[in-house]
Every structure is written in C-alpha cells, then in structure tokens.
C-alpha cells in the first residue's frame, strides 16, 4: 500500500511540475506529505508482535489413561506455553485475547482397545476423534474464533488412550490473527 501511495505521490509531483504554479505546487506537495504521514501513523500496518506475546502451547500425555464421562484430558508434558494460558493441572487452554486460533489434538488408542474423545469450546462439543483399535491415531485441526476467556479442552468420552515417553497423544493451540 505504501508503494502505491509513493508511486501516486511521484506521479502527482510530475503533474504539478508540468501544470501548476509554484505557489499551488508547494501547497499540493504539503497536503500530499501530510496525507502520507497521517496514513503511515494511522495504524494501518500492525506492528509485528513479539514472539513471547503470541499465545501458543503444545502439551502431550506422558502415560496411558482410561477415560470416560466427558473427562477433561490433562496433557501433562508441556513443550511450549507462551503466556501460560494452558494449565496442565486442569487440561484447559483459555484464550487471553479474541482472535482466530489454530487448535489441534491427536489421540492414540491402546492396542486392542477403542477410545473416543472430543474437542470442546467452552461447553460446546466441536468434533470427535475416534482412532479405532490397536495403536491407531485420530487427529483434528480446526481454526476457531475464540473470544477472550473462551476455554478449549479435549475430553475423553470412553476408552483407553495410549501414550508413553514417546508422547503419542497431543494438544496444541496458537493465535493466528
């Protein structure tokens, strides 16, 4: 956008030299410069965020788990937690600001067993994960519009989750915009 305005400014400068009096030329140039300065300072371009200010987390389960009854899964091995908006003791990610968030979860079933889990936004079921039996995985990736304070969880409906020191079951979210 600034390039377009710069080119427009240059074009007007050439036109004023050809068709305007010096008095009008100076007034027009001052007005154009004033407009460019106001546009640049208007906040049109967002300042880049510092990495530490972007809400983001990734956490994994470190051990197998039997689940049931919409139990919130507590992904206890935290890899990244910018801003500490994911609480591993509760399994809840709480959006610190309104925006679009990329949210993903992967669950793995125990060999010979089924597992069913769902991604929730506040108290609304979003999508289910059903990997089937025998070390099968299911993954969900969603872009969610979250308001400040919205909570995102993964809940086990029933079955047995597999995980170990290889961290097969994970939960992540980060602010896109």
Query: 22 Cβ partners below 8 Å, 6+ apart?
Result: none
What is the model's pLDDT at position 89? Answer: 97
pLDDT of residue 79 exceeding 50 = yes
Judge if 63 and 7 occupy the same domain. no
> Is 9 inside a domain boundary?
yes
Judge if 108 and 142 occupy the same domain. yes
> Is 45 inside a domain boundary?
no
0.75 cut: is pTM over it?
no
> Is 46 inside a domain boundary?
no
Query: 111 Cβ partners below 8 Å, 6+ apart?
Result: 133, 134, 135, 162
> Is 86 inside a domain boundary?
yes
Judge if 35 and 70 occupy the same domain. no
Judge if 92 and 168 occupy the same domain. yes
Judge if 65 and 22 occupy the same domain. no
Q: Cα(98)–Cα(93) distance, rounded to whole angstroms?
A: 13
Task: Residue 107: give its domain's CATH number.
Answer: 2.60.120.40
> Is 163 inside a domain boundary?
yes
Judge if 72 and 140 occupy the same domain. yes
pLDDT in tens, 107-141: 999 888 888 999 999 999 999 998 878 888 999 99
Between 2 and 163, the more confident residue is 163
Domain range enclosing 24: 2-40
- Do residues 1 and 42 lie in contact, with contact meaning Cβ atoms separated by under 8 Å? no
Looking at the chain, the whole-number percentage of residues with pLDDT higher than 90 is: 51
pLDDT in tens, 4-56: 444 444 454 444 454 555 554 556 556 655 655 565 554 445 555 677 789 99
What is the model's pLDDT at position 9? Answer: 47
């Amino acid at each position: 956008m600034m390039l377009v305005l710069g080119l427009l400014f240059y074009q007007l400068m050439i036109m004023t030299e050809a068709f305007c009096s010096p008095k009008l030329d100076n007034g027009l140039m001052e007005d154009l410069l004033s407009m460019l300065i106001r546009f640049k300072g208007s906040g049109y371009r967002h300042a880049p965020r510092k990495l530490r200010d972007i809400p983001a987390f990734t956490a994994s389960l470190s051990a197998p788990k039997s689940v049931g009854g919409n139990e919130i899964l507590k992904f206890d091995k935290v890899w990244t937690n910018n801003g500490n908006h994911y609480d591993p003791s509760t399994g809840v990610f709480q959006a610190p600001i309104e925006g679009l968030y990329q949210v993903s979860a992967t669950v793995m079933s125990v060999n010979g067993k089924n597992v069913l889990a769902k991604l929730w936004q506040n108290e609304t079921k979003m999508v289910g994960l059903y990997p089937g039996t025998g070390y099968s995985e299911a993954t969900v990736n969603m872009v969610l519009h979250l308001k400040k304070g919205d909570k995102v969880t993964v809940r086990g409906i029933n079955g047995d989750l597999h995980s170990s020191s290889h961290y097969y079951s994970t939960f992540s979210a980060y602010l896109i915009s």
